[in-house]
Structure 1
Amino acid sequence: MSLRQLPEIRAFQRTDALAFEPPSQIAADFNASITAAATDADTSISIYGQIGIDPGTSVDNTERRISNALRAIGKQDITVNLNSPGGNFFSGLAIYNLLRAHPAKVTVNVLGMAGSAASIIAMAGDEILMASGSFIMVHNASAMVIGNKYDTNDATELLSEIDAAMAEVYAARAGVEKKVAAGWMDRRRGDGTMFGASSAIESGLADGRLNADAVKVSAEATKSVPRERVLENALMTAANMSPQEAKALIAEIKSGTREAVGPVTRDADDIRTAIEQLRSTIRS
């Protein structure tokens, strides 16, 4: 078990009505080129990119891969090298629970960003170290909801439960009251708080800094996934569309040719605008 007294968070019932993705600002700030300068293949786990199956690159950052890696490592101290904007909350929560249950010391190195669902993973570290210029981002759970009024009501209830679970984890790790952690998440109408290395350490969300030579920037790193790809993946998952149908719908929305939507400007590149248009379009 964790060397710290961290809470185990119960599993939530997965639902096809919710499609999780990093908030647009976090995705825009994410730098995928940041990785660990060196790793010990026998005792290290790397989590780079979106949590879950990355919709653009198909990189596997699921609980299944992490579970297999932990099983291969065995009862040894491990290092988790983390640079992720977040993604699927359910996978992030499952990975947190797996790392929390590891019988030896878990060190989490935040190399660039631990945003959204990835911040929950980071909290499982017995020791959390942050590189210069790295961030931990905490906020209210956000997801694209596809369905009728009953689905949206259920989604609202589930997202509230998820927020409470996340606040419990942050509070336990930082040694603060749950309402303090919830306040971090509630800032800016739920967009949350971005903690740099200094503020994260001061707040109790991290323990120390990484040496500068522990991090490298790779020129060959995969570029950030275009938001269109994220939306296409969500439509294929939650609305049971084919890849061709999803691509066609996104193209129609961007071009303004779909009558139910109306003209769309470049501001529609913002994922929130696109989501609102998708909600009104999917059933038309």
Structure 2
Amino acid sequence: MKPLMPFRIYNKAKATLPVEDEHWYRIKAEVQADQTVIEIYIYGEIGGWGITANQFIQDLKALDDGVSPVVAAFNTNGGDLFDGLAIHNALKRLGERCTSRIDALAASAGSVAACGAHRVVMASNSMLMIHNPWTWTSGDAEDLRRVADVLDQTLEAIIATYKAKAPDIDDAELRRMVNDETWLTAQEALALGLADEIGSGVEVKACLGQGATMKRYRNTPKALLDQLQDVQPAPSAQDDLPAQVDPPEPAVTDSAKLALMITQACGKAGISNLVEPLIDSTKLADEATVQAALTRAKTVRDLCVAARLPELAVEYVQAGLDAPAVRARLFDKLVGSGKGFEIDNSLPSADDEPEKVKAHLPNPSTIWSARRQATRKGA
């Protein structure tokens, strides 16, 4: 019998839409009322495109002293189930000193992760969403039957996490809610035992930058989608008054200085292999263009590394692609390869450090070519 190809358990969605959500992940230890508290913010997708279990576990291990309270704040549309389970287990190992705080939404794998804490506190206007596992795959009939078996097994893992948090919940009712993709209010989650306390509310619109992803689910509450609409404030009389600001510093326009700026920034960020592509793609037009390209290049590199295709970063930076376009291309390559996604939640060993890219100075001919093109464009 041939081995089952690796695959990834996704958020359940009818179609994959371009997502331009912002991700915010932060972990810190600070003194509050004469006691050190470790706070973790998981604001964004869980898994390869956002907050991975490996990153989470390593960062927590570096800060945890074994006695301080740990508060994990969630605002996530979900993501990879295996990463969610790994985060769930990491929180569960902390015991009674761990609290999950759902600030706006814990959906899909996010709800699995949040329920790992000893205590779950939901904001009064937050939501918890539970549903069936979902994936994509390819292969012959035998492959598809085995994938269906794995999905059944992962469903049991999901059920087990919720029942561990709420042991008195009716099994048949829980399975019905999971199958129906159920969105639970804080009050409903509390009644079921999936939450322990309802805290003060927050403005959901300010917390959720994930509107595009929310549309991928089939039963997203309309009230939640309405709150995600950006509301532009009406102009006030003060807007017409001239602002008293210091004059801006003159922008850098010299090609050599811009090339040096790229070289130094890339060296500092560990992306020296992207110096030449950045020079080519920006044409060393001006400082604003260069700064925007540098920010974009770092994001592109991170996405390619997460997809285990770091060699594509040079091509995508050269083409000037933004993050949504890179996500789409990486997704197409991974799906088109027929190999699926490999899942590895183990911590890397100390000897498994990423290979450092040797820094090198930009090619003078490239700078000269960019300068000539910029001059012709200006003419």
Aligning the two structures, in what range does the TM-score lie when normalised by the shorter sequence? Answer: 0.5 to 0.7
The correspondence of residues 204-223 of structure 1 with structure 2, limited to 5 A, is 204-212=193-201, 217=206
SS of the counterpart of 1:94?
helix
The reply to whether residue 74 of structure 1 matches residue 65 of structure 2 is: yes
Please report how far the alpha carbon of residue 15 of structure 1 lies from its aligned counterpart in structure 2 after TM superposition.
6.5
Contact 1:17 1:238 in 2 (8 A): no
Tell me the residue number matched to 1:62: 52
For residues 218 and 40 of structure 1, do their structure 2 counterparts lie closer, same or farther at Cα, with a shift above 3 Å needed?
A: farther
Tell me the residue number matched to 2:38: 43
Tell me the residue number matched to 1:7: none
Tell me the residue number matched to 2:130: 138
SS of the counterpart of 2:184?
strand
Query: Alignment partner for residue 85 of structure 1, among 66, 69, 77?
Result: 77
- Cα offsets for 1:105-146 (capped at 9, x unmatched): 111111121111111001112111111321111111111223
* In structure 2, C-alpha distance between the alignment counterparts of 1:70 and 1:198, rounded to whole Å: 30
Contact 1:34 1:215 in 2 (8 A): no
Contact 2:74 2:103 in 1 (8 A): yes
Tell me the residue number matched to 1:194: 183
For residues 32 and 163 of structure 1, do their structure 2 counterparts lie closer, same or farther at Cα, with a shift above 3 Å needed?
A: same
Contact 2:12 2:133 in 1 (8 A): no
SS of the counterpart of 1:86?
coil
Tell me the residue number matched to 2:176: 183
For residues 238 and 215 of structure 1, do their structure 2 counterparts lie closer, same or farther at Cα, with a shift above 3 Å needed?
A: closer
For residues 217 and 98 of structure 1, do their structure 2 counterparts lie closer, same or farther at Cα, with a shift above 3 Å needed?
A: same
Name the amino acid aligned to 1:178. Answer: D
For residues 27 and 130 of structure 1, do their structure 2 counterparts lie closer, same or farther at Cα, with a shift above 3 Å needed?
A: farther
Tell me the residue number matched to 1:240: 337
Count of aligned residue pairs for this structure pair: 216
Contact 2:120 2:196 in 1 (8 A): yes
Q: What stretches of structure 2 of length at least 5 have no aligned partner? A: 31-36, 217-323, 339-379
The correspondence of residues 237-276 of structure 1 with structure 2, limited to 5 A, is 237-240=334-337
Structure with higher Rg: it is 2
Contact 2:77 2:210 in 1 (8 A): no
Percent identical among aligned pairs is 22
SS of the counterpart of 2:124?
coil
For residues 19 and 103 of structure 1, do their structure 2 counterparts lie closer, same or farther at Cα, with a shift above 3 Å needed?
A: closer
- Cα offsets for 1:167-200 (capped at 9, x unmatched): 122122122243332122122xxxx211011111
The correspondence of residues 1-40 of structure 1 with structure 2, limited to 5 A, is 16-24=5-13
Contact 1:142 1:159 in 2 (8 A): yes
The reply to whether residue 148 of structure 1 matches residue 143 of structure 2 is: no
SS of the counterpart of 1:53?
coil
The correspondence of residues 83-122 of structure 1 with structure 2, limited to 5 A, is 83-122=75-114
Please report how far the alpha carbon of residue 69 of structure 1 lies from its aligned counterpart in structure 2 after TM superposition.
2.3
Contact 1:137 1:194 in 2 (8 A): yes
Name the amino acid aligned to 2:83. Answer: S
- Cα offsets for 1:210-250 (capped at 9, x unmatched): 2236988269x587469886665443334338xxxxxxxxx
* In structure 2, C-alpha distance between the alignment counterparts of 1:106 and 1:46, rounded to whole Å: 14
- Cα offsets for 1:1-40 (capped at 9, x unmatched): xxxxxxxxxxxxx975534332348999x9967989xx85
* In structure 1, C-alpha distance between the alignment counterparts of 2:22 and 2:124, rounded to whole Å: 15
Name the amino acid aligned to 1:200. Answer: A
Please report how far the alpha carbon of residue 149 of structure 1 lies from its aligned counterpart in structure 2 after TM superposition.
2.4
For residues 25 and 146 of structure 1, do their structure 2 counterparts lie closer, same or farther at Cα, with a shift above 3 Å needed?
A: closer
For residues 153 and 203 of structure 1, do their structure 2 counterparts lie closer, same or farther at Cα, with a shift above 3 Å needed?
A: same
For residues 202 and 35 of structure 1, do their structure 2 counterparts lie closer, same or farther at Cα, with a shift above 3 Å needed?
A: farther
